[in-house]
Amino acid sequence: MGSSNERPALMNARELLRKGDTFVVWRLDRLGRSLKNLLEWMAWLEQEEIALKSLQENMDTSTSSGKLIFQIFGALAEFESNVIKKRSHAGLSSARARGRVGGRPQKLNKDKKELVIKLYNEREMTVGKICELVGITKPTLYKYVDTSQTNLLNKS
């Protein structure tokens, strides 16, 4: 869970809930910060056999109609998620067809990458010093070195 979902009072309430209880919330958005988070809560409540009652939405999962409403919410959320995925994939495919490459821009150009790899392989400078010299982090340096070694292996 992300930091916005780490709410101590809510986690404390979770520890106090027992089988057969009804967890009452003012509004559903007070329980979950996102629909995904809300569905995770609902799954947990259902597993623990705890009902959920929302005062504003007038929903009570201890009733058949309340469960139905929540299932409809879940189905709509899944549908929305699938639509977003399809749109994202279509957008990325369209961008690739137009020659656009996604991802984070490379920190170093080709010449600087070759210099970094050369300095690394010569073993005359520390990794930290090389990184400081060209303004990259150690993981970035190691990524360039790994990519270089993989490319050499693929050529042979």
The structural domains of the chain, ordered by start, are: 3-97 (3.40.50.1390), 110-155 (1.10.10)
- The predicted-structure confidence for 89-104, as pLDDT tens digits, reads as follows 999 888 888 988 777 7
Higher pLDDT, residue 24 or 7? 24
**Averaged over 58-80, what is the pLDDT?**
83
pLDDT of residue 138: 93
**Residue 146: phi, psi to the nearest 5?**
-60, -45
Tokens of 72: 């409809």
Q: What is the mean pLDDT of residues 48-68?
A: 90
What average pLDDT does the segment 113-129 reach?
Answer: 93
pLDDT at 149 over 90: no
pLDDT reported for residue 16: 94
Cβ 17 vs Cβ 46: under 8 Å: no
Residue 3 confidence (pLDDT): 42
Report residue 5's pLDDT band, with 50, 70 and 90 as the boundaries.
low
The answer to whether the predicted template modeling score (pTM) of the entire model surpasses 0.75 is no
Pairwise CA distance, residues 156 & 152, whole Å: 7
